[in-house]
Amino acid sequence: MKRAIRVGIDVGGTHTKAVAIDNDTFEIVGIGSVKTTHDDPLGVSAGVVQAFEKCLKDNGIAPEEVTFIAHSTTQATNALLEGDVAVTGVVGMGNSFLAKRQVAIDDIVLDETGKHRIKTHNRYLSLKKYDRNAAKRTIEELVGAGAEVIVASQAFGVDDNLEEQEVAEIGKEMGLEVSQASDISKMYGLSKRTRTAVINASILPKMFETADSTESSVRQAGINVPLMIMRGDGGVMDINEMRKRPVLTMLSGPAASTVGALMYLKASNAVFFEVGGTSTDIGVIKNGRPMIDYSVVGGHKTLISSLDVHVSGVAGGSMVRADRNSVVAAGPRSAHIAKLPYVAFTPPEEIVDPKVVRIQPLENDPDDYIAIECANGKRYAITVTCAANSLGLVKEGDYSYGYPESCNKAIGALAADLGMSLEACATQIMDKASDVVIKVINLLADKHKVERSQISLVGGGGGATALLPYTAKRMGLGYDIAKHAEVISSIGVALAMVRDVVERVIPNPSPQDLEDIRNEAIQSATKSGASPETIEVQMEIDAQTNKVRAIATGSTEVRTTDLSAKVDEAEALKLVAKSMQVPEDKVHLIEENDYFFCFGTMKNDHQEMRIIDKKGFIKVQRGDAEAKKTTVGGIRNIVDTYWEDLAVYKSDIKLAPDIYLCIGAKVIDYTGMLELSQLHMVMDTELMQHGGKEEVIVVGARNNL
């Protein structure tokens, strides 16, 4: 019987890693890793193909077994960081002076020095005087001024984009790539929408080159399924859709690791670390969903949704900085950048007569980075990994495990230089490193209103064991290190779902408005490569901003087998007890249906709850919640009761409860609703798809933050 294999490829700063996963069992059946090909004429796409081919060849996987292939890409991010962008001409259109001002986009500065920027040229067409000839003359003027790609941006183009479409047609007839602002985002906000389209257009030539070479190589390898590309919001899209909206791939690398934690580790409420050699990506998973925000480019918020992942300049390879009395910092410069080997991975016989030297790894760096110079004349870096090995925090067999004896010799020399004990010196290094990530964890927890009692830390990446357990201990939190931590990003790419988002500003949306945006999201996800039968839509309304969002997710194929073995009540209870950090006999079953268990335990007069599905995934965890089973027809009565009974009053503020529905095989999250009438309306768009007698579990959770 032929296997069905999913292949995910992640492009990292140092290595590009491909992972093959059995589609039926979730088991890893192959790994292929190569050095990232930054200097290849084809750029990092050459490494994508090399890692893919190595994974298949080394593990006996036939090309015809591959049913899904996707890769993350650093190309969009790198193009912007390095200024490898096209000069962009903007055709702005509208009927007012305000519109004219809003579509006039200045050069977009891409770095702190101002050296790298997207060069822009602007022309404005009054829609009252618009015709095809005027549009063509305007494009010709922009090309004459040096524009290499074009943006068409029209006031209220999200409602009527006929002129945008015509400008795009004319540009393509002239052999130019054109980005329509209304294709990139359906949000109002003309200047922000136009700026986002400029960023998208500026990277089109670079991304086309990469896409064409990667797809060609994959086809030559005998793979005939669509090539999918990771998006920055944690989903994937077909490569042909990427050619239209490459800007959506920004930050797809950090997104991949968070998706890996979510899918492979069954994380529900967690702060996820991917600890590399140079930096640590930190993101939040709340109630089974990664948290999303708009990306910032050139100091401006765009309309590009991506996972809210913070990149922290400390990791396993971070070098130590010290004055004459104490350790002052860990990072941000890494041993890789300084081109020094880690002490931790150097045999003890080479660490002879170690002496402390203070160095400046790169021009403009501080000159207090610590290196060790030995009798052989070679220099080595003391890193966070070295301190963790010295303190015995990394166990034999871990990816970060090295030579503790070497670490003790080198850190002992630094300790003597600073006038302290070896243990105190290594502890100071770990404290300085964990200080950096603790600050980010607290920031993200506050921003996304994650209940502190519900947080656990989950680690991936090669340096996870060096940093995560120490950080968790200092914060008094539980933690888990991912199995196959060093390839968690590639796992995330392999398991990612097709995703598309449609969002609009609609004051007082009607049921028809919600149904329209829902259908548009389904169509968008289908274009991005999802099989229509697999698509599910999450509807959200932000009453404060009048923003309506439809998030559509689906698979590239209709699954004929379950992705995970089922757990029984006893196994589910065991998983929940571990999550709640209580004995199993303190956990009770509240409700159950064909797909879910709801378990609770009493803590401080509150019923802490977990919703766990029968595959063993904890979908929701809340510190104070109730659940009740009913039918679709009985939902409204229970929701109305919860809305009043579970509300929290603080001063003059009423904090409405969060509502969840366990319906069919999914949990629908209605958190953040401010008005009961809006909640009814959004629920109704989903419930229309279900029969009145279908069984549902309704969950209400107090907001005690």
- Per DSSP, the three-state class of 233 is coil
Band (534; pLDDT cuts 50, 70, 90): confident
What is the reported pLDDT for 1?
A: 59
Q: Answer yes or no: is pLDDT of 563 > 60.
A: no
Whether residue 470 is predicted with pLDDT greater than 80 in this model: the reply is yes
Strand partners, 658: 701
What is residue 433's predicted lDDT score, i.e. its pLDDT? 95
Which has more pLDDT, 261 or 558?
Answer: 261
Q: Are 361 and 334 in contact (CB under 8 A)?
A: no
**Is 616 a residue whose pLDDT tops 50?**
yes
Residue 159 and residue 187: Cα distance in Å, rounded? 10
Dist. CA 290–CA 469, nearest whole Å = 22
Q: Kindly report the length of the chain.
A: 705
Structure confidence by residue, pLDDT tens digits, 376-390: 999 999 999 999 999
Given a cut of 70, is residue 558 above it in pLDDT? no
- Range name among 5-19, 392-406, 446-460, 515-529 with the lowest pLDDT average: 446-460
Residues 6+ apart with CB under 8 A from 396: none
- What pLDDT does 565 receive? 63
Nearest to 105 by CA among 184, 185, 197, 168: 197
Position 278 scores a pLDDT of 77
Do 624 and 702 form a contact (C-beta atoms < 8 A)?
yes
d(CA 155, CA 181): 10
The torsion of the CA quartet 183, 185, 190, 194, rounded to 10 degrees, works out to -60
Average pLDDT, the chain: 88
Distance from C-alpha of 489 to C-alpha of 258, rounded to nearest angstrom: 8
Tokens at 628, concatenated: 């009740």
**Tokens 């630094």 correspond to what residue?**
414
Residue 631 reports pLDDT greater than 90: yes
Three-state SS sequence of 406-425? HHHHHHHHHHHHHCCCHHHH
Task: Report the 3 state secondary structure along 648-683.
Answer: EEECCEEECCEEEEEECCEEEECCCCCCHHHHHHHH
Higher pLDDT, 486 or 314: 314
Cα distances (Å, whole numbers) of residue 133 to 89, 145, 146, 167, 169: 17, 19, 20, 10, 13
Asked if residue 642 lies in contact with residue 625, where contact means CB atoms within 8 angstroms, the answer is no
Q: In whole angstroms, give the CA distance from residue 465 to residue 274.
A: 11
Per-residue tokens: 231: 């998006």
What per-residue confidence (pLDDT) applies to 221? 80
Per-residue pLDDT, averaged over 226-231, amounts to: 89
- For residue 696, the one-letter residue type is V
Binned at pLDDT 50, 70 and 90, residue 346 comes out as very high
How far apart (Å, rounded) are the C-alpha atoms in residues 202 and 118?
7
Q: Give the model's pLDDT for residue 107.
A: 93
In sequence order, what are the beta bridge partners of 121?
Answer: 89
Count CB neighbours of 631 within 10 A: 13
Which tokens hold the place of 253? 């690398």
Whether 705 shows a pLDDT value over 70: the answer reads no
d(CA 457, CA 608): 19
Q: Is the pLDDT of residue 316 over 80?
A: yes
Burial environment of residue 162 by CB neighbours within 10 A (0 to 12, 13 to 18, 19 or more)? exposed
Query: What's the confidence (pLDDT) of residue 560?
Result: 40
The 3-class secondary structure across 11-73, one letter per residue, is ECCCEEEEEEEECCCCCEEEEEEEECCCCCCCCHHHHHHHHHHHHHHHCCCCHHHEEEEEECC
Give the pLDDT confidence of 661-680 residue by residue, as tens digits.
999 888 888 887 878 988 89
> Is pLDDT larger for residue 627 or for residue 37?
627
Q: For residue range 125-173, list pLDDT tens digits in order.
A: 999 989 999 999 999 999 999 999 999 999 999 888 999 999 999 999 9
Q: Which residue has the higher pLDDT, 83 or 343?
A: 343
Q: In which residue are the tokens 């050699």 written? A: 277
**pLDDT for residue 8 is more than 70:** yes
Q: What is the mean pLDDT of the segment spanning 309-338?
A: 89
pLDDT tens, position by position, 412-441: 999 999 999 999 999 999 999 999 999 999
| 98 three-class SS | helix
**How many other CB atoms are found less than 10 A from the CB of residue 156?**
15
> Which of 221-230, 239-248, 348-357, 443-452 shows the highest mean pLDDT?
348-357
> How many CB atoms are located within 10 Å of the residue 655 CB?
15
Judged on CB neighbours under 10 Å (0-12, 13-18, 19+), 630 is middle
Beta bridge partners of 612: 597, 618
